Each structure stands twice: as C-alpha cells, then as structure tokens.
Amino acid sequence: MKQEQIKTLIDALAASDLAELEYSENGSTLRLVKLAALGAASAAPAARSPSGLRKAPRQAPEETTAPAAASADCLAPLFGVVHLQPAPGEPPFVQPSQAVEAGQLLCVIEAMKMFNEVRSDRTGTVRQVLVQSGQEVEAGQPLFRFD
C-alpha cells in the first residue's frame, strides 16, 4: 500500500461515523480503529462483515462518559513517537502544574511521517508528564496525569 492510499483511508475513517476500518490488498491488511471505539471494540468484538468494515456498538451516554470521568490520565490515541514541544529548543506545549483548557494541544504523536495532535479532553491542571519527548508510545499508554 502506498502512503497516499493509507492517508486517504485514515481521512475517510476520521470523517465517518465508523469506529473501525479494515482494508486488504495483495496479502497486506491495514486495520484502523478510532480511539473512542478502542474500549468498546475490545470489550465486545463485533462479527466481521464481508467488506471488512464494521460499526462499533452504540453505547448509552452514561456508559461512555463514566469511564472517561473516572480517569485522570490522557492516553495516547495511537502508536508513534511523542513530541512534547513544537520544535527542538522550543518550550513544551504544557508543563507540570500548568492549567489547561479542554481542547488545548498537549503534544503531537508522529506516526508514519504524519503528525497527530493530542488535545486535552478536560479542563484541569497537568499534574505529571508521564513520557519524554522522542519516546515511542503505544496506543492507550498514559501520557499526562491531571488533577
């Protein structure tokens, strides 16, 4: 698969209400999963459809908000290399004891030469930065801890 083709699939998944997308070509398979659907997909795997596409089961609003409210960590949405500052030598996006607003940029994760912004899903204070700039992170790995 070519990088342009992969980017097109990523963009298509992001713009849709699908939770997962799986694409096979010439014996290679690419599986993309949205972070919000990651917990739902691992808790109750859906049966594969012939096309390789599936939607995550819809959950009641209280089920989806309760686990997020209980967690005080910001998790990595995907595997890649984390960058805590816009460029070498510049100050980090956020620091411990800094107040942040919901939607504020916390870091960037580089995956396949693409930079994915990680934004805060809550208003609060950064208690601890759990990773170092340049470190490889796994999807679901805690990056920041909030008060």
Residue 71 has a pLDDT of 56
Contact 102, 68 (CB under 8 A): no
pLDDT in tens, 5-55: 887 888 777 777 778 878 878 777 888 887 654 444 444 444 343 444 444
Residue 127 has a pLDDT of 95
125, pLDDT greater than 90 = yes
Give 27's contacts (C-beta < 8 A, 6+ positions apart). none
pLDDT in tens, 89-109: 999 999 999 999 999 999 999
pLDDT in tens, 81-90: 999 999 989 9
